[in-house]
Amino acid sequence: MNVSRRGLTPSLPVILSIARVSFFEILREKILYITLMMTALLMFLGFAASRLFFIRPDRVILDFGLSAVNISMSILAILIAGYQIGREVDRRTIHIALVRPISRGQFLLGKFAGIKCILILNWLLLSAGYVVILGLSSHEGFTEHLHATLFWALGLLLFQSVVLAAVGIFLSTFTTAALSWMICTGFYLIGNNISQIRLLAIKTKNVFVAGSLNGLTWIFPNLEHFSLGTQVTYGLPIVTEAAVTAIVYSAVYSALVLLLAVLSVQKRELN
């Protein structure tokens, strides 16, 4: 038997095993395919809309496509993470797992790893579809838009979805799926408007309101780090340091939220 010093089963095989089961379980969910179909539809709409423009129709496809990937990845992360722990508790599948010599933290990290794998798969499919549509619609050759900024932009959307998944799984440790989806959507909307909130804090005369708004910008994830839409549309070069900062930010924020999720799931009563 594999046994750690605390008598627990070592983390790596446990996390991989839970991730594998979670991955294949989510793969059977309709939600994944609905999201994929919705994104394909959005991309097609972008393609159709681009036919209405005489000047730079390819930019319409660029914008529509990137937005479609953004929305799809975010919705998927919010939806699948939001019910992961709650459903395990309701179905009592978590009971049989937690009776084994594993910690609740290991279980939660395994579930998160499974969600991450699904997000990566979704991201690969969407990115591939996006690149193909871009190539097909390009007037000046396939490689015109396939520059580093586009790939960084796509990559950062994956990291944004990981942050949202971490928030979603944290919320699912103590609330219902519906509430988790609503709150997580709030995180997404606020997170994408952090600079507006900071601006509001500067403009407001009330010190208390300004302080509260600034406090919120520290609690909510700053998802603007992951948005490179303008750079992609206008073909601007990417500042590598900014992109790397965004990746580190994603890792640190997700780690902190997962830590809270572990503490929360340890306190959760199993009925």
Partner 1 sequence: MSATRKPLVEIHAVDQIFRAGFWLKPVQVLHHVQIQVPEKSVFGFLGANGAGKTTLIQLLVGLRAPTRGTVKVGGHLATTAKARRKIGYLPERPYFYDHLTGEDFLKYFGTLSGMTRNQLLDRIPTVLSTVGMTAAKNVELRRYSKGMLQRIGIAQAILHEPELLVLDEPMSGLDPIGRKEIRELILSLSQEGRTVFFSSHVIPDVEAICDEVALIDQGRILQSGPIGGLLSKGPIQTEIAFSGVTAANAKKIEELMRIQEMPDGIRAIVTSQVSANDALSSLIKKGARILWVSPIRPSLEDFFKSTKEGGSA
Binding site for partner 1 (CB under 8 A): 1-3, 6-10, 13-14, 17-18, 21, 24-25, 28, 91-93, 95-102, 269-270
Smaller CB distance to partner 1: residue 140 or 269?
269
User: Hey, what amino acid is at 21?
Assistant: V
Smaller CB distance to partner 1: residue 13 or 215?
13
Smaller CB distance to partner 1: residue 1 or 202?
1
Min separation Cβ 161 and partner 1, Å: 24
Smaller CB distance to partner 1: residue 98 or 200?
98
Q: CA-to-CA distance for 129 and 96, rounded, in angstroms?
A: 40
By the 10 Å C-beta count (0-12 exposed, 13-18 middle, 19+ buried), 141 is classed as exposed
Long-range contacts (CB closer than 8 Å, 24 or more residues apart) made by 180-186 = 180/81, 180/82, 180/83, 180/86, 181/78, 181/79, 181/82, 184/78, 184/81, 184/82, 185/78
Q: Are 129 and 43 in contact (CB under 8 A)?
A: yes
Min separation Cβ 173 and partner 1, Å: 16
Q: Are 213 and 200 in contact (CB under 8 A)?
A: yes
Smaller CB distance to partner 1: residue 110 or 191?
110
Smaller CB distance to partner 1: residue 175 or 214?
175
Min separation Cβ 12 and partner 1, Å: 10
Min separation Cβ 204 and partner 1, Å: 36
Smaller CB distance to partner 1: residue 51 or 100?
100
> What secondary structure does DSSP assign to 120-184, as a single string?
HHHHHHHHHHHHHHHHHH-SS-TTSS-SHHHHHHHHHHHHHHHHHHHHHHHHHTTS-HHHHHHHH
Q: CA-to-CA distance for 93 and 110, rounded, in angstroms?
A: 14
Min separation Cβ 120 and partner 1, Å: 20
Phi, psi of 102 (to 5 degrees): -125, 160
Min separation Cβ 102 and partner 1, Å: 5
Min separation Cβ 236 and partner 1, Å: 45
Q: CA-to-CA distance for 43 and 49, rounded, in angstroms?
A: 10
